[in-house]
Amino acid sequence: MADQVMPNAENVNDNANSVATNAKSVSEEDAKKAEEFKDKANEFFKNQDYNQAITFYTQAIDLNPTIAAYYGNRSFAYLRTECFGYALNDATAALKYDPKYIKAYYRRASANMALGKFKLALKDFETVVKVCPGDKDAQKKYSECGKIVKMNAFARAIAVDDNKSIADSLEIASMTIEDDYSGPCLDNGKVTQKFVQELMDTFRDQKGLHKKFAYQILLDVKKLFQEQPSLVDITVPDGAKFTVCGDIHGQYYDLLNIFKINGQPSESNPYLFNGDFVDRGSFSVECIFTLFSFKLLYPNHFFMSRGNHESYTMNQMYGFEGEVKHKFTAKMADLFTEVFNWLPLCHCINGKVLVMHGGLFKDDSVTLDDIRKCDRNKQPPEEGIMCELLWSDPQPQCGISESKRGTGSQFGPDVTKRFLQRNKLDYVIRSHEVKNKGYEIAHDGKCITVFSAPNYCDTMGNQGAFITLKGGDLTPKYTSFDAVPHPQVKAMQYASSLFGLF
């Protein structure tokens, strides 16, 4: 548990009276009503209805905005709904009203960890252990966070001293294949239809791919992605079918189910997978090698966009790095980072439908040509075109708002309308958010979300979906589907040990 520095620290039923009410600005009646809202919020929190809890914590804050515990509790609820930007703001607000409120330091550290801001998280953990030196849980989190900060600093130092890539240092020819290996083999170093089918069957049966073939796939797909622009134009002939899938997040058996429902990828059945192939689900290795193999098999009929989870920091926290190290090697985890850096940022179908993982931009003047010119061979920055393509979300109200995630922004229907008009587009498709039916139509039908990981993290109960279009009118058709059984390996199996915070 993350919050054991005080008795019952994870219990959201905080004593709101730990911070004195500002009697000059809050009436006794409002203070009493705020406590009632807080109590309702706590009940919803205990029942894991975090959105309703947030609603009532917000009402309590509106009536009595000087109570640190209200912000601290709402911060905790935001953490559970992965609104890390909002959680960060609330934890900071709680500390404004009570600088000694230890749980707020935990909340803020949690949010910063989730956002990959390890140095800031470490600073808050340090505060906690100074106040509560006997707390073993706090000491553990402080130690683990410190290790990540040191490891990242060391990695940066190595990168400065040695610019040679992992891909350039590999000697695949010297890798031997053991006599007892019975898995799929590349044909003269190349992916074939037979190989892909055997690979999917092997992974389905929880068996592995030899590292020699895994490394070869990564080298070949990296070269292929390097040859592609940041914005890839796709042509779908009149009447031809094209499928867009959203987040997969390491849910391999649900990926196989998509192919069962909609047919396997082929030149006559092209696909676009719109980012977040890995992390959270504990079969991310199986997902990514299957997708990369299809990319190599059908380079002009199988497409992949980068998501916010195709990045070093996310992989470090949310499980993919740990999974690759467990199933292969640390060197391969580093090679994946190089490959992910070359994934295209978005795709444009017939010059009319733009598909990106996250969303649109604060800057109203961004054009498709600006996206084409975007330098993507790097880790996602904290602002700008690349950041927003990977991280932003739509909102129902007009204008631009601060991101609930702490990165990117939230954009309204007016922003979408102007972007489409400026670039002569019909609508946009994006992913990045769980939806109950696996999809959502917003902004007067001009902003569509598709999410393809049903029962996300084995807990959400949502359906997944994919979208099929036909060349010509490009009218979207939605297919929702339920989760299928998978082996008893829990989601987040390989995630950072610091995820006890969330």
Q: Confirm if 392 and 408 have CB atoms less than 8 A apart.
A: yes
Q: Confirm if 482 and 454 have CB atoms less than 8 A apart.
A: yes
Neighbouring residues of 144: CB distance < 8 A, sequence distance ≥ 6 = 496, 497, 498
Q: Confirm if 500 and 3 have CB atoms less than 8 A apart.
A: no
Q: What is the CA radius of gyration of the chain?
A: 24
Q: Read off the tokens for 176.
A: 């031997």
Distance of CA 455 to the CA centre of its chain: 15
- Which residues have a catalytic role annotated? 309
Using DSSP's 3-state secondary structure scheme, residue 358 falls into coil
Distance of CA 492 to the CA centre of its chain: 13
Strand 409-411 to 346-349 pairing: unpaired
Q: What contacts 24+ positions apart, CB below 8 Å, involve 96-101?
A: 96/68, 97/19, 97/66, 97/67, 97/68, 97/71, 98/18, 98/19, 98/68, 100/131, 101/18, 101/19, 101/68, 101/69, 101/72
Using CB atoms within 10 A of its CB, is residue 16 exposed (0-12), middle (13-18) or buried (19+)? buried
DSSP 300: T
DSSP 380: P
Spell 279-302 as b/e; 16+ CB within 10 A means b.
Answer: bbbbbbbbbbbbbbbbbbbbeebb
Phi-psi region of 23 (alpha: psi -120 to 50; beta: other; left: phi over 0): alpha
